[in-house]
Amino acid sequence: MSSTNYKSRNQPPNNRQLLILLGIFAGFTIGIIWLIGWIASSIVWLIPPSLEQQLGLVIVPIFESQAKPSAAQNTLNELLDRLEAQLPPQQRQNRDYKVLYIPEDTVNALAIPGDRIIIYAGLVKRAQSENELMMVLGHELGHFANRDHLRSLGRAVVVQIAIAYFVGDIGTIGSIAVSGVESLSNAQFSQSQESQADEVGLTLLQQAYGHVAGATDFFARMSKQALDIDFLATHPAPARRVKEIQQLIKQRNYKVDQKLPLPPTLP
């Protein structure tokens, strides 16, 4: 006769039951995390340009204090204007994209709420043609088109901003937004976010020049760099991206013509 016959109903749960409970709890937790992620990534599409401008009012000055009005910044803005003119009308409406050029050796570029693209001198110095720099700018415009600039504030911050906005608690939005500034500079995008931004960049490059020379140059160079470059942390998997861009160029039958040198006003 086995001992199980004497089991009482009030016996503590055995290992198997504990494992099941643990599994249910883990599943529930993963579900909640997934749900918050899904809400945050869907809610960014509901944030209107007017709210973005409000976020910009508190976020942009933080970066502006490090930027320097300069010939280089003006040139980068002229380049950006040429790409912006190629955006579909619905992406240009109520927008005024501008570059903030920060004269630091950091190799990075980022899109932030308030229609600003932050470009560090370290990135410009590593570019070798106007075309590849245009591709980087176009890629950042792609992050705006896909609303990644809002997602990079962090899920919790995005959800809090949206709640404050929809319940009319406008006064707290500024301080919530500031709490997301740190994650803006450290945002790590997924490969699919990067691919989508590349696609926008490539399309804009083709429209601006009538060909796509230089489209992969910057990312190809980055893929051969040491891993501690900020650009690689925020924009991962450059080698894979180069391949994907090349495939897209083939599929769309884009021409590859002469590249232009960098404008002399750039460092």
Name, in order, each residue with C-beta under 8 angstroms of 71's C-beta and a sequence gap of 6 or more.
265
Name, in order, each residue with C-beta under 8 angstroms of 219's C-beta and a sequence gap of 6 or more.
235, 238, 241, 242, 245
Closest contact distance (angstroms) between CB of 170 and Zn ion is 31
Name, in order, each residue with C-beta under 8 angstroms of 102's C-beta and a sequence gap of 6 or more.
63, 66, 67, 68, 118, 119, 120, 121
Phi, psi torsion values for 118, nearest 5 degrees: -90, 125
Closest contact distance (angstroms) between CB of 128 and Zn ion is 20
- The span of 89-97, 115-123, 156-164, 194-202 binding Zn ion (CB under 5 A) equals 194-202
CB nearer Zn ion, residue 177 or residue 232: 232
DSSP 8-state code for residue 171: G
- The span of 38-46, 90-98, 170-178, 192-200 binding Zn ion (CB under 5 A) equals 192-200
Closest contact distance (angstroms) between CB of 151 and Zn ion is 12
- The span of 92-100, 190-198, 222-230, 255-263 binding Zn ion (CB under 5 A) equals 190-198
- Among positions 243-262, residues that touch Zn ion (CB under 5 A) are none
Q: Is 241 in the site for Zn ion (CB under 5 A)?
A: no
Q: Is 235 in the site for Zn ion (CB under 5 A)?
A: yes
101 bridge partner residues? 119
Closest contact distance (angstroms) between CB of 250 and Zn ion is 22
- Positions touching Zn ion (CB under 5 A) are 197, 235
